[in-house]
């Protein structure tokens, strides 16, 4: 018998995490409610005569995604901290990076699921014309989700065994979210304003670069965060 | 042939305190070390070092001749803890099958069935773990630890939560694994149970082995007196 490789074991871990989330639905529903509440609150606080929908919507969208995503990220290692399940995972003969990749894949599904509901809700509430920009907008969402999840998964693992995990995770992760959220918001603004996709390329390149750097660096650093 | 478990001058320091202070031991196939000691003596830390869950500050731990925490060494280990280490939202069967797949067993479902039957928990295996009693959870946890047929078993207070029937099933299982050639380290406060299983016994105090000897011929009552005198 030989243990599965990195990708196969990461897939097993991701599938297990998604099965747990599917059974409990606690984090997903919380994140969804938070997203929808944020969109509604911003909507009622908005003065359309002062700020146009196209100027406000990208900011609302990315603030919402950033904070709702943190709920899922915190939960991903919370299930391992419960009753010491992390030890059973660490003793298994799988590469430690597989734990990171598995958790990140499950977190990505979580964040994309929340985005999949919150984005149409935002479009409906703010009546922004997305038109033909849907595919590009979805591309921006996916690229940004990859970066947020990579950084968030690392810090969620790092803070999981601390007493103040709920507080430490946003404090540590949010500064690293900035290089992801900024180009994502800029690209979203251009797409919602009906500008040609080519005008967003510069922002998308920055987003892609940070995705690659963060995903690779976080995967390398992750095993060092696991020792007590 | 390399010893199944080998600790070479293991030291682990937490914030200036030496939780484990120069522990050395070696276990061959079919040997069992019962590790006794008061709370805070360093027993659990020693076990975590032997499991590769902690890195030693100095010294090294080897399993089947491979230095921990290499995956080739971890492959040999089954860990039973006083914590169940299970996912509450999943059923017992899903928990055990997940581990079987992580170890790359060729027939994970069959191995899961066999492990659950060995612990007499098969009929409750499809219930979410959160709905099981503590004792039943511990049986699932033991099934998870043995599903891949480990030849090194590390057990930290494994009798926690078990009723009489569960405790005797565990003793029988550990004895059977030892006779089949597994090396076992049991951390326990129960001298009688530990000595009944062990081929070697050690008492820890202040991160060190203050006594380490073959268990054969040890009288539990006399050993209890020795233990009390050493840890007083």
Residue A1: inside a domain: no
Cβ–Cβ gap B103/A82 under 8 Å: no
The reported pLDDT for the residue numbered A113 is 93
Q: Which of A16, A17, A27, A88 to mutate to test the interface with B (most CBs of B within 10 A)?
A: A88
Q: Tell me which of A81-85, B68-72, B163-167 is least confident.
A: B163-167
How crowded is residue B191: how many other Cβ atoms within 10 Å of its Cβ? 19
Averaged pLDDT score across all residues of chain A? 90
Assigned domain for A53 exists: yes
pLDDT in tens, A65-123: 999 989 888 888 888 888 889 999 999 999 999 999 999 999 999 999 999 999 999 88
CA distance B105 to B20: 35
The separation between the first and the last C-alpha atoms of chain A, rounded to the nearest angstrom, is 30
Average pLDDT of the residues of chain B: 92
- Residues of B at the A interface, defined by Cβ within 8 angstroms: 48, 51-55, 71-72, 74-75, 77, 79, 81, 83-90, 94, 98-99, 101-106, 128, 144, 148
Percent of chain B whose predicted confidence (pLDDT) is above 70: 100
- Mean pLDDT across A178-207: 92
ipTM of predicted assembly, 2 dp = 0.89
Query: Could you tell me how far CA A142 lies from the centroid of its own chain?
Result: 9
Domain contains A186: yes
pLDDT band at B169 (very low <50, low <70, confident <90, very high): confident
**What secondary structure letter does DSSP report for A228?**
-
For chain B, say whether A224 makes contact (Cβ under 8 Å): no
Residue A180 in domain: yes
Region A23-46: mean pLDDT is 90
Report the pLDDT averaged over residues A173-182: 94
Cα(B117)–Cα(B143) distance, rounded to whole angstroms?
Answer: 9
8 Å CB contact of A87 and B102: no
Lowest average pLDDT, out of A51-65, A136-150, B67-81, B174-188, goes to A51-65
Q: Residue B87 has what pLDDT?
A: 95
For residue B37 the two structure tokens come to 């000691």
pLDDT band at B171 (very low <50, low <70, confident <90, very high): confident
Of all residues in chain A, what percent carry a pLDDT higher than 90?
61
DSSP H helical segments within chain B, as ranges?
A: 43-51, 71-74, 92-102, 108-118, 134-146, 164-179, 191-197, 220-231
Instruction: Give the residue-averaged pLDDT of B148-164.
Output: 89
d(CA B59, CA B69): 13
Least confident of A130-139, B2-11, B181-190: A130-139
Closest CA to B46 of B81, B7, B15: B7
What are the φ/ψ torsions at residue B159 (nearest 5 degrees)? -85, 0
> What residue numbers bound the domain in which A27 lies?
6-225
Amino acid A228: pLDDT = 65
Report d(CA B171, CA B32) in Å as an integer.
Answer: 12
Contact B80, B161 (CB under 8 A): no
Q: A35 in a domain, yes or no?
A: yes
Q: Pick A87's closest partner by Cβ from B79, B90, B94.
A: B79
Whether residue A179 is contained in a domain is answered as yes
pLDDT over 90 percentage in chain B: 71
pLDDT of residue B151: 93
> pLDDT tens-digit profile of B88-142?
999 999 999 999 999 999 999 999 999 999 888 889 999 999 999 988 999 999 9
**Quick one: closest CA in B to A86, which residue?**
B85
Tell me the pLDDT band of A143, cut-offs 50, 70 and 90: very high
Query: What is the model's pLDDT at position A1?
Result: 65
Q: Is the pTM of this model over 0.80?
A: yes
Q: Which of A2, A84, A94 sits opposite B81 (nearest CB)?
A: A84
Is residue A100 situated within a structural domain? yes
pLDDT tens, B39-50? 999 999 999 999
Flag whether pLDDT at A9 surpasses 90: yes
How many beta carbons lie within 10 A of that of residue A213, not counting itself? 13
Instruction: Summarize the confidence of residues A9-29 as an average pLDDT.
Output: 92
Task: Supply the pLDDT for residue B212.
Answer: 93
Q: CB–CB of B79 and A16 under 8 A?
A: no
Number of structural domains chain A divides into: 1
The phi, psi pair for A209, rounded to 5°, reads -65, -45
Q: How far is it, in rounded angstroms, from Cα A203 to Cα B168?
A: 65
Contacting A residues, span 86-105, partner chain B, CB-CB under 8 Å: 87-95
- Pick the residue of B48, B63, B78, B85 with the most A CBs within 10 A to test the interface with A by mutation: B85
* Residues of B whose CB is below 8 A from A84: 81, 83-85
Separation of alpha carbons B41 and B30, rounded Å = 26
Residues A202 and A46: their CA atoms lie apart, in Å, by: 30
Q: Is residue A64 exposed (0-12), middle (13-18) or buried (19+ Cβ within 10 Å)?
A: buried
Is residue A74 one of the residues assigned to a domain?
A: yes
């Amino acid at each position: 018998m030989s243990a599965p490789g990195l990708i196969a074991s990461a897939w097993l871990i991701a599938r297990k995490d998604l099965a747990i989330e599917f059974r409990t639905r606690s984090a997903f529903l919380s994140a969804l409610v938070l997203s929808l509440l944020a969109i509604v609150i911003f909507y009622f606080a908005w003065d359309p005569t002062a700020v146009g929908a196209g100027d406000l919507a990208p900011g609302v969208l990315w603030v919402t995604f950033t904070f709702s995503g943190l709920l899922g990220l915190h939960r991903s290692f919370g299930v391992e901290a419960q009753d010491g399940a992390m030890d059973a995972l660490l003793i298994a003969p799988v590469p430690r990076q597989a734990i990171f990749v598995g958790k990140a894949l499950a977190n990505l599904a979580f964040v994309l699921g929340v985005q999949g509901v919150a984005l149409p809700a935002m479009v409906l509430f703010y009546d922004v014309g997305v038109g033909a920009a849907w595919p590009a907008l979805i591309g921006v969402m996916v690229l940004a989700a990859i970066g947020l999840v990579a950084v968030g998964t690392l810090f969620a693992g790092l803070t999981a065994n601390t007493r103040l995990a709920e507080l430490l995770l946003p404090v540590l992760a949010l500064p690293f979210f900035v290089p992801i959220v900024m180009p994502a918001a800029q690209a979203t603004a251009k797409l919602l304003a009906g500008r040609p996709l080519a005008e967003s390329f510069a922002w998308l390149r920055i987003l892609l670069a940070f995705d690659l750097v963060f995903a690779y660096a976080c995967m390398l650093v992750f095993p060092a965060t696991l020792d007590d | 042939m390399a010893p199944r478990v080998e600790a070479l001058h293991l030291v682990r320091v937490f914030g200036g305190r030496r939780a484990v202070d120069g522990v050395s031991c070696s276990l061959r196939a079919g040997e069992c070390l019962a590790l006794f000691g008061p709370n805070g003596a360093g027993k659990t830390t020693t076990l975590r070092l032997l499991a590769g869950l902690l890195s030693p500050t100095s010294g090294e731990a080897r399993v089947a001749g491979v230095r921990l925490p290499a995956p080739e060494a971890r492959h040999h280990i089954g860990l039973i803890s006083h914590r169940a280490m299970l996912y509450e939202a999943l059923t017992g069967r899903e928990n055990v099958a997940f581990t079987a797949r992580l170890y790359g067993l060729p027939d994970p479902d069959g191995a899961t069935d066999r492990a659950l039957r060995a612990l007499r928990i098969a009929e409750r295996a499809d219930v979410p773990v959160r709905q099981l009693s503590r004792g039943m959870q511990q049986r699932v946890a033991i099934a998870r630890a043995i599903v891949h047929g480990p030849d090194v078993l590390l057990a930290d207070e494994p009798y926690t939560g078990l009723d009489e029937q569960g405790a005797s099933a565990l003793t029988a299982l550990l004895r059977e694994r030892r006779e089949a050639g597994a090396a076992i380290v049991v951390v326990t406060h129960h001298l009688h149970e530990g000595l009944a299983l062990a081929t070697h016994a050690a008492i820890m105090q202040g991160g060190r082995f203050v006594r380490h000897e073959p268990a054969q011929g040890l009288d539990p009552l006399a050993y209890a007196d020795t233990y009390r005198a050493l840890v007083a």
